[in-house]
A and B are shown apart, each in its own frame.
Chain A
Amino acid sequence: MFEVTKYSTTNLRKTIFAGILAALSFILMRFTEFPIFPSVSFLTTDLGDIPFLYGAIYLGPWYAVGIVFVKNLLFFLSGGSPGGIIGLIANFIALSTFGIVVGFITLKRKNLKNVILGLVSGAIAFALVMIPTNLWAVPLYLPGITREELITYLYTVNLPFNLLKGAIDTGITLAVYLSLRKHNPMK
């Protein structure tokens, strides 16, 4: 049923595929939200980053940045961003880093070793970039917070949370990659 045929030129097909992946990221965020710890219901994550990471593997780093930009633009248009416009900018910075790392490591060879290496180092880069990003973004919303309090919060709550989120993203993207390995969309 799922025969993947390719007759069109690469540039146009890649761009269209990236556009669809951006829409898919936006949709999946609403369909697949689930709590990280079943007891704490407000701390949720979702599979919205999976299409984007898949795109980073097969389309390369710059398409990944494009997908994140378009996804955040869709959020901006829908008015449904829980962090406001600053949240969107922070998300763009962090996920772009994730995508660029994954994209560059898997650029030459898309074998299992490189994909695992790319996703793991991308997830670590993502969690690390969130620290300076939050250092800039959080005081815009909480001017009363002192720098020491903020840094303590970032290292004790934010960093572990983002590492966990990156680990979940890595695991699921890997599962998706393994299931769809035979259908390289861009060969």
Chain B
Amino acid sequence: MKRGGFFGQYQYTGSILHRIDPRIKILSIFYLIIFLFFIKSIIGYLLVFAFALSLIAVSKVRLLSAFRSLRPILFLLLFTVFFQLLFTPGRILFRFYFLKVTEEGVNLAIYISLRLMLLSFFTFLLTATTSNIEIADGFQKLMAPLRVFRFPADNVALMISISIQFVPILFDEADRIMKAQISRGAEFNRGGIIKRARSFLPIVLPLLLNAFNRADQLAIAMESRGFVVGGKRTSYKLMRIGKRDVCFIISITIASILILFGERFL
């Protein structure tokens, strides 16, 4: 895996979707994901599919990369399609030895694969049009009102930004330690389950010990610059809800109403 390929979904095209407030984007994607579960027919899903494709077109990201984002769920997708095709009782379309494919099975398989694909497409739309920093900032701002309930929003926000920064660093470190242990004769793909699990200890222990020291050094460095968790902070980029964001909310609302009507009457 390439370095920096961890969060490699983001593609900057400068489209209108990229410039929408990250908070609005996060909330609307979550809204769309929940909305997806209220749709009960294939026609409804096809309408949502058309809507998702039009959003991808507006965002100008490559269509191929949207389909590539399905790769991690490919196993799940194939498994569910296979399961629904073969194990749904109903009117038999054709049989192949002991396997029988029913009409209901075909319908359910199409229905569920559309649902899974759309779930992935919507999360892809968020991560392709919003950089990690924007998403982290967006979550931070969305969590801020929860402070009223004594929810440690500042701690969680700090954890999010620290972890995003540390992923590439720790990746290099894990890689280096693994190679160092291999050069000393460590083997990772041998033996039974306990032996295999234990063989990873020489990687996990140094990583954890380094994590203490890094945490302490970073904490000292931040405190010496006057950082206090939960202190009043200003940010370089201000988030403001503008006309564009309002238009986006309105169009998503109209689209979801239209989809519900289309499902009812088509």
State the A residues within 8 Å of B (CB): 2, 4-9, 11-13, 15-24, 26-28, 30-32, 34, 36-38, 42, 47, 50-51, 54, 62, 66-67, 69-71, 73-74, 76-86, 140-145, 168, 171-172, 175-176, 179-180, 183, 185
Q: Are A22 and B76 in contact (CB under 8 A)?
A: no
Evaluate whether A24 and B170 lie within 8 angstroms (CB atoms) in the complex, with A82-B76, A180-B209 already known. yes
Q: Are A79 and B72 in contact (CB under 8 A)?
A: yes
Does residue B258 face the partner (Cβ distance < 8 Å to A)? no
Q: Are B116 and A7 in contact (CB under 8 A)?
A: no
Can you give 14 A-B contacts (C-beta < 8 A)? A2-B213, A9-B223, A12-B222, A15-B159, A16-B219, A76-B123, A77-B164, A78-B8, A140-B37, A142-B84, A142-B112, A144-B108, A175-B201, A176-B205
Does residue B167 face the partner (Cβ distance < 8 Å to A)? yes
Q: Are B119 and A85 in contact (CB under 8 A)?
A: yes
Evaluate whether A8 and B216 lie within 8 angstroms (CB atoms) in the complex, with A22-B163, A27-B170, A70-B163 already known. yes
Does residue B53 face the partner (Cβ distance < 8 Å to A)? no
Q: Which residues of A contact B254 (CB under 8 A)?
A: none
| Bound Cα distance A62, B159 (Å) | 13
Q: Which residues of B contact A172 (CB under 8 A)?
A: 197-198, 200-201, 204
Q: Are A77 and B132 in contact (CB under 8 A)?
A: yes
B interface size (C-beta, 8 A) = 79
Q: Are A8 and B223 in contact (CB under 8 A)?
A: yes
Q: Which residues of A contact B108 (CB under 8 A)?
A: 143-144
Known: A8-B219, A180-B208. 14 other contacts (CB 8 A): A2-B213, A12-B229, A17-B211, A19-B166, A20-B170, A24-B166, A32-B203, A32-B204, A34-B197, A42-B75, A66-B159, A142-B84, A142-B112, A145-B87
Does residue B158 face the partner (Cβ distance < 8 Å to A)? yes
| Bound Cα distance A9, B216 (Å) | 9
